[in-house]
Structure 1
Amino acid sequence: MKYVIGIDLGTSAVKTCLMNEQGQIIDEASCAYKLYQEKPGFSEQKPQDWIDGVMSTIQEIVGRYTGEVADIIGISYSGQMHGLVLLDEAGEVLRPAILWNDTRTTAQCEEIVAKVGKERLLAITKNPALEGFTLPKILWVKEHEPETYAKAKHFVLPKDYVRYVMTGELHMERSDAAGTLLLDIERNDWSTEVAEAVGIDRALCPPLIDATTEVGTLTEAFARATGLSSTTKVYGGGADNACGAVGSGIVTGGKSMVSIGTSGVLLSFEQTPDKNFGGKVHYFHHAVTDAYYTMGVTLSAGHSLKWFKETFAKESSFDELLASTEDIAAGSNGLLFTPYLVGERTPYADSVIRGSFIGIDTAHTHAHFAKAVLEGITFSLRDTLEIFRSSGKDIRDIISIGGGAKNPQWLQMQADIFNANIYQLQNEQGPSIGACMIALVGSGIVASFEEAVEKCVAIGEVFEPIAENVEVYNEIYNVYTQIYAQTKSLNEALQAFR
């Protein structure tokens, strides 16, 4: 029996899984690490903490493994996107990594738009200049830490740095590179035009690889430290959303996925890079070679529910909170919630907007508010779905993963608000299973991602839309879509008091 390891490098922890050649997860381990937020808007991590966490989880799994370590033949990755790791001539880290949720770079985003041009940037990268992307972070270091920038030889993203330490080979994988604002999506290469326009040396950009590219084997030192064999082959891996899509079976045309975690994502497979969404959704390379995906993001999805629970229902469990809403009819008796607690990404890209409860009256109970939060999160994700559908995509079936897939009531709500069949997975492991599947394909244990899906992804319960709820939610959604415009100026005025 042969085995592969999938490493999911998240924002709060690393999760490592061991999968056999039959597609079964047989062991897993996780290790948390610290997030540094020393100033408002700053969010950083120490890359060494990622390395320590990866080594710890592999050591834990190998310690329980009873077979021959040489039978663990491949390793791949899923990684948090956009984070900036700067390396010097010797490959040493120059400063802590600036993460995807760091928002210090508004001025640098404005600089990119001014120097490249909004429409030209969209034509090349398929994405607007947002604080979360990597290029604004590079420009921030260039402006505020010129001595550090002067020493920089390369930049990499989090999982690409971990792979570099494990193999000694420096590359950047395309599904992650697509989130830097430096990749020409249609040409499938770094954009000299963007780099020159903003004054970045293209030599900072490492060689590009695909998710299933074999980059080499483990270094003797890393193999010795973890108990693995130095013959273990290492593959490129993918961005966390790309790996989540792979692990959910979104590897061919016509497939879509919704993921509700701290943030929320609605993602759809694309065969070509030439559709025009006008920057309203993200357009990235997939982990599947020569394929793409489009994606809209709700910044405060599960975060909104967590905030509501901790603020107004601290003594209740999430299960108790959701159970309290079961008898509340669709529409929460005229109460609406917008989940803009930290701004919003899709479709507004507005860091100033904030959330609202609209329509409160004395008939509303705690349960009405809880249900309105669930509905508001799902309405926000429908904003992305409407962009897809208005472009001509016929989306009738959606895989649901994350926290929003763990509650039958919420799954039914997704079916009703999206007017689509919602599919729950039997064994959801998130991006880590996608990382394992990349290693299966890269190593040749399976011939294709389609075959990997057959082995690894099993559909569970299906939730079909209820016609009367669909009708109610369509009417309420029309009201929901008006709240942003009606509250935008109010939130801009209130910003001075935050």
Structure 2
Amino acid sequence: MSDPVELVLAIDLGTGGPKVGLVTVRGEVVWWEHTPVPTTVGDGGAHTQDAELWWRVIGESVRRAPGRDRVVAVSVTGQWASTIPVDDQGRPVGPCVLWSDTRGAPYSKALVGGPVSGYAPKPLATWLRRSGGIPTTSGADPVGHLLYLRHEEPDVLARARWVLEPVDYLTMRFTGVPAATLASMTAAWLTDNRDLGRLAYDDVLVRLAGVDGAQLPPLVATGSVIGPVLPEVAADLGIPPAAVAVTGLPDLHAAAVGAGAIGLGEPHASIGTTAWISAPIARKKTDVFRQQASVPGLDNASYLLANNQDSAGRNLQWWRDTTAPTTGYEELLAEAGSTPPGAGGVVFTPWLTGERSPVDDRDARAGFHGVGETSTRGHLTRAVIEGVALNATWLLGAAERFVGGRLDDLRLVGGGARSDLWCQVLADATDRTVVRVTDPWLAGLRGSALVAGLALGALTRDEVRGAVPTDEPFRPDPRNRATYDALAAELPKLYAAQKGFFRRSARR
């Protein structure tokens, strides 16, 4: 008899809730399930979740998982730029302040705000030179969160031993070890990323940020083994006591691995709740005007292009839930697919919750343009899909300028990639070949497992691309070139024409 296949307990903690899967050390997903969790939205830009609830529903999923007795490693990916205050045992002492929480904006603006693309020249120069990025003036990042807590909820920080990113929080719940990586701490911009071999926070940046460095988790090498799973946790979940946990990764990094795009210049794109276009690059650089940055990558020798469009698949979910809650996505997509490219002249600007890249404008909002009396639901649904693709086209131009070359054969992951229509529209709008990863909504689980496989020596980096299955590519249809070129030119103009309105509306 052959030896039983070794499995990784992979967790992909999206904002909508965790996916939990059992995946082979070479990336084959053998079982998974998803559990939704709610977001609490409050006054002043509050967006929080219950991190203890995450742990509870993850545990319930693991106990239902067939084959959990073959788990050799635990690997976590998911949302980042979120902040969880925990005690010395890793248990939350307050809610998770999500990446979309902007309550720290007044304090972030006071810290780094100014006239150069919204930033003061001196802190901008210091941060970019050292880390490659700077805390956003929107407050929607760990520094903004910590400044908010320090000023508005000091009792929470007083109870906290550590402040952790979600992936590091879950890893600590498994191991009891407080640890982070240059990758997981990227959004805090508190490390000197000129030297990826230096596993330490930058004293200058920590001091400038006004945060307590003693509450930041110790840094370890990305992709390394943190340690064994706690015996009581292994017993409770029914996984072997010999299982170990590897370092958690942001969803950007796990998606790159899950797409098989880890070689220098190999691009991947994601259409999930949000959207991005990324590729590994060789050096640290930043484009503050178009919101592109190279962040610590999958090892100590390379970086990843980081950017983000705040709303992608979220737009279609909003459109369905608001206008046709009893209608399935399949029906809406079929109506859109029967509508010619260009959506009958309707253009949708997909900035439902603001934008980050290639413009940083938290006040921007979505809208339909060109709606007429002959416009149908199919036109408007297609406009939503096209709007996300056109926004990605705008981002692609900034990304290619940043990396200094054409990004083609885009490996595509994320829930939106399940739609053939969306894949084809993206190929047509960008004029790029789109290669959908098989089961694209599971790329985070697959990527997490492959990272564990690399850490355990079950495969090499050269084998990763071949370990990721893909579907038939979607190639641009030249018949649609003129239509989408014209629409792609309109989107930045619509933003420029409306940004004053966005700003005024936000003040009302």
Q: Please report the TM-score for the alignment, with normalisation by the length of structure 2.
A: 0.90
1:125 aligns with 2:131: yes
Give the aligned partner of residue 393 of structure 1: 405
SS in 1 for 2:390: helix
**Counterpart among 168, 183, 193 of residue 185 in structure 1:** 193
CA distance in 2, matches of 1:155, 1:411: 39
Of 23, 38, 45, which aligns to 1:41?
A: 45
What is the CA distance between 1:85 and its match in structure 2?
1.7
Deviations 1:231-274 (A, max 9, x none): 11211121112111210112112221221122222222223224
What is the deviation of 1:398? Answer: 0.4
For the structure 1 residues 327 and 59, does the alpha-carbon distance in structure 2 shift closer, same or farther, using more than 3 Å as the test? closer
Check whether the contact 1:173–1:236 (CA below 8 A) recurs between aligned residues.
Answer: yes
Q: Distance in 2 between matches of 1:406 and 1:34?
A: 24
- Whether the 8 Å contact between 1:382 and 1:418 is mirrored in structure 2 is yes
1:290-301 matches, within 5 Å, as 290-301=301-312
**Residues 22 and 178 of structure 1: CA distance in aligned 2, closer, same or farther (over 3 Å):** closer
State the partner residue of 2:381. 370
Paired with 1:425 and 1:91, the residues of 2 have a C-alpha distance of 35
- Structure 1 residue aligned with 2:457, among 422, 444, 465? 444
1:170-213 per-residue CA deviation (whole Å, 9 max, x = no partner) reads: 11122211111222222334221111113223222222123321
SS at 2:187's partner residue? coil
> Which of 157, 161, 173 is 2:165 aligned to?
157
Aligned residue for 1:227?
238
Distance 1:200 1:430, change over 3 A: same
1:139 alignment partner AA: L
Unmatched runs of 5 consecutive residues or more in structure 1: none
SS of 2:245 mapped into structure 1: strand
> What is the CA–CA distance in structure 2 between the aligned matches of 1:97 and 1:315, rounded to whole Å?
32
Counterpart selection for 1:7 from 4, 11, 25: 11
Letter in 2 for 1:416: D
Q: Deviations over 1:323-360 (max 9, x none)?
A: 11234332223221111222111122111122222223
Structure 1 window deviating more from structure 2 (12-21 vs 74-83): it is: 12-21
Contact 2:345 2:370 in 1 (8 A): yes
TM-fit CA distance, 1:304: 1.4
Give the C-alpha shift of residue 285 in structure 1.
Answer: 2.0
Report the more deviating stretch, 277-286 or 91-100.
277-286
Residue type of the partner of 2:194? E
8 Å Cα contact 2:102/2:144 also seen in 1: no
1:427 aligns with 2:439: yes
Q: Is the 8 A contact 1:258 1:401 kept in 2?
A: yes
Could you tell me which of 471, 477, 492 is aligned with 1:460?
Answer: 471
Matched residue type, 2:129: A
Aligned to 1:268: 279
Instruction: Give 1:147's aligned residue.
Output: 155
CA contact (8 A) 1:84 1:97 kept: yes
Using the alignment, how far apart are the partners of 2:31 and 2:79 within structure 1? 22
Structure 1 residue aligned with 2:430: 418
**What's the CA shift for 1:361?**
2.8
Residue deviations 1:369-408 (CA, integer Å, cap 9, x gap): 2222111111111121010222322112101222321222
Change beyond 3 A, Cα 1:85–1:35: same
Deviations 1:282-333 (A, max 9, x none): 4322234532211332222112122222333344321211211234332223
Contact 1:340–1:355 (Cα < 8 Å) also in 2: yes
288-297 or 315-324, which deviates more: 288-297
Shift of 1:10: 2.3
Q: Which residue of 1 aligns with 2:390?
A: 379
Could you tell me which of 302, 318, 330 is aligned with 2:313?
302
> Which residue of the partner structure matches residue 489 of structure 2?
478
Counterpart of 1:23 (choices 4, 21, 27) is 27
Preserved contact between residue 91 and residue 173 of structure 2 (Cα < 8 Å): no
Query: Out of 166, 173, 176, which is 1:168 matched to?
Result: 176
1:398 corresponds to which letter in structure 2?
L
Task: State, as a whole percentage, how many aligned pairs show the same letter.
Answer: 23
What is the identity, as a one-letter code, of the residue corresponding to 1:271?
A: A
Distance 1:279 1:181 in 2: 18
Specify the code of the residue in structure 2 equivalent to 1:442. A
Secondary structure of the 1:86 match is: strand
**Which residue number in structure 1 is paired with residue 342 of structure 2?**
331
Distance in 2 (CA, whole Å) between partners of 1:132 and 1:450 is: 36
SS class of match (2:472): strand
Q: More deviation in 85-94 or 360-369?
A: 85-94
Query: Following TM superposition, by how much is the alpha carbon of 1:151 offset from its aligned partner in structure 2, in angstroms?
Result: 4.3
Per the alignment, residue 87 of structure 1 pairs with: 86
Task: State whether residues 285 and 291 of structure 1, in contact with CA within 8 Å, keep that contact through their aligned partners in structure 2.
Answer: yes
1:234-249 residue pairs with structure 2 within 5 A? 234-249=245-260
- Letter paired with 2:177: E
Report the equivalent of 1:361.
372
Partners of 2:183 and 2:222 within 8 A in 1:
yes
Q: Using the alignment, how far apart are the partners of 1:214 and 1:298 within structure 2? A: 32
> What is the aligned partner in structure 2 of residue 51 from structure 1?
55
Q: 1:261 to 1:196 in 2, by over 3 A?
A: same
Change (3 A) 1:421 1:277: farther
How many Å separate the matches in 1 of 2:42 and 2:368? 31
1:279 deviates by: 5.9
CA contact (8 A) 2:346 2:379 kept: yes
SS in structure 2 opposite 1:229?
coil
Q: How many corresponding residue pairs?
A: 490
Provide closer, same or farther for how the CA distance between residues 296 and 92 of structure 1 changes in structure 2, counting only shifts above 3 A.
Answer: closer
Secondary structure of 1:461 counterpart: coil
| Alignment partner, residue 117 of structure 2 | none
Match of 1:113 in 2: 112
CA change 1:246–1:346 in 2 (3 A) is same
Q: CA deviation at 1:124?
A: 2.6
| TM-score normalised according to structure 1 size | 0.92
The residue number in structure 1 matching 2:67 is 65
- Name the structure 1 match of 2:223: 212
